[in-house]
Chain A
Amino acid sequence: MTSAAAWELNDASYQYPRGPLAVRNVTLSLPAATLTAIAGPNGAGKSTLLALLLGHLEPTSGAVTYGGRALRDWTGRALAREVAVMPQHEHTAFSISVRDMVAMGRYPHLGLFEGERDADRRAVGAALERCDLEAYRERAVDALSGGEQQRVRLARAMAQEPRAYVLDEPTAGLDVLHEMALFEYARELTASGATVVLVTHQLNLAARYADRIALLSEGTLVLAGTPRDVVTSERCSEVFRWPIDVHPHPGPGADAGAPQVVPIASSGVAIRGGPVTLHT
């Protein structure tokens, strides 16, 4: 695997017009062919950071590059051939079949009036197969369950045949089966050489599946590194403002020893404002 960086943020900040400074002086390198999880409390700036990575927002200071080029220098089409996005949620205004939805992943590869070529049909077929959606080809996307809809969006991203994937809270609202399946898919993608950036609140799964975790708090990058370096009791308790224990995962499996967070249940914890203190 190459260790070159896919994305690089160099002292990047973003301030919303007449709004808060959502990302503060972040310097971060997202290596290619690895799975990086971006974690942090609500309002830590994860979504803004993603918008910077995708070029939806331009840093108000500093620089964000993909493949060594500033995001603003990429055309939308060229970037869409490199980077596929799986949005957190998506509203389908009209009924659309699974096959048609996944085939939209080929749009960045097609000219204005160009029909689907063999290569496009193959990419769509392969994506449907990888995401186990062949039986759903003709079903309407809006009639599927939340987990199945996420799989359709993942298949669409795969049909783009990109080098990198950005998954925005892909498991929000999903049950254990679909949650695990998504992390397994993410690991498979990196195993096949793709770069995956995944925003998640699932610290435990991130610690087991991700190669690296970037922990954000109040717009600042607290630390980026391996799960064992980043996920410690002290750091997590401080960032999430709740007492958190960290235990090594008992195994079995390759992820035995991965740090697992266990928030401590207790009465008398000050939930709002200020540093957390336990009255025990």
Chain B
Amino acid sequence: MDLNYAALLPEILLAVAGILLMLAIPVLPSRQQVRLGYAASLALAAALVTALLQWGDHGPAFFGMVSMDALGGAARILFLVSSAAVALISVSYLKRERLRHGEYFPLLLMATVGMSLMAVSADLIMTFLGLEILSISSYVLAGYRRGDPRSNESALKYFLLGAFSTAFMLYGIALLYGAAGSTKYAGIAEAATQGQAETATFLLGLGLLLVGFGFKAALAPLHVWTPDVYQGAPVPITAHLAVGSKAAVLITLLRLLHQVFPASADQWQTLLWIASAATMIIGNVAALTQTDVKRLLAYSSIAHAGYILLGVIANSPRGAQGVLFYLAAYSLMTLGAFAVVQVFARREERFTKLEDFRGIGYRHPLLSVSLTIFLLSLIGIPPTAGFYGKLFLFSAAVEADLVALVILAVLASAVGLYYYLQLIVLMFMKEAASPPEPVPVPLAARIVILLMAAGTLYLGVYPAQVLSIAGEAAGL
């Protein structure tokens, strides 16, 4: 077995770019620091091209620490797209809020390296390191608005609770190593089939691992940190937490449960059944009473993680395919929604209340129409991506005899209809309270909004292509 450096080319590229950007901070005059953001976006685009070229590569690398497969390749592409969108909406955000560009983009790039490593990892140690790189960069980025107490609160809450969950996860990994004698995915899966899956050490390890992942993916009852952290963080970072970070954790969870722990399916399916039901109910019901659009989207992202769990619990390739398609759809619509919120919030994020959206419908058609598309997709109304996402997830769950959970999911989505529609009604059918104020839409943000809206509609009209890619990644 050899090193096979090429397998990790996108990650190496991003890490090197991150370090170069840091070195560029003191060299660039302060007026040109804006370029760092575009340089970071370019690095992400280059990594995306490499990842696309590597699509179809298979096999282990770095002595079996990472393993290239279709799932890892697809996940990597998803994370790179998400981070690139976050980087593009960050440039105008940092400029408007007069925050330093310097360390922001290297941290974002490193977070992407972490997500990407999680996707291709074939060893719990690598998974843990990837998750920690992602988490630590996210803690810092959540507190990047140092002058704002809410941002400090966000970073501190996320950090303290995150550190706890990390400890749980590490303890779980240690117990699994004790039970299986290996931290490699293949080694653990083999030990599980040889009877270790029944031992208390193994099950305890798996349970603690699930607690750690449950926290990071904000599954009920480990979701309590989410609204405060999402509300306080800078809007682009909220998007990063809700999309890239969440997708990375859910995909790693999917891979672990489907490939490493199928022998313990009975146990984790029961646990996740309860978590999924609680996540959908709490996410949707709590979103009903929110008055801040960032908090509303935070609860909505909790609810969506609940839907995604359906595909994980189904424990079938069709379920995994549903999860991947849903994550692609969810990423597009959520990134788009946060891009609109970022632009609309204006200086110091003054306009994030639902009331602020009153009557903007005809005044800012670009923002209101695209936000409407994203919200309709979040509800799951055709012809948008969210409709097919829910369709594939729910049908895979029905095939796996999860009828009760699917009924619950449909009811929960019906509750979701109310708060998403409420925002659309506010935008188009109410009179604005205050006189109009111009909302400048920077070019990079405009591009992101338009691309995400186009992607959402494309997946809603013609889902076959992405569905077949998701199917290949799921091993169908």
Co-complex (A, B): no
B interface list, Cβ under 8 A from A: none
A interface list, Cβ under 8 A from B: none
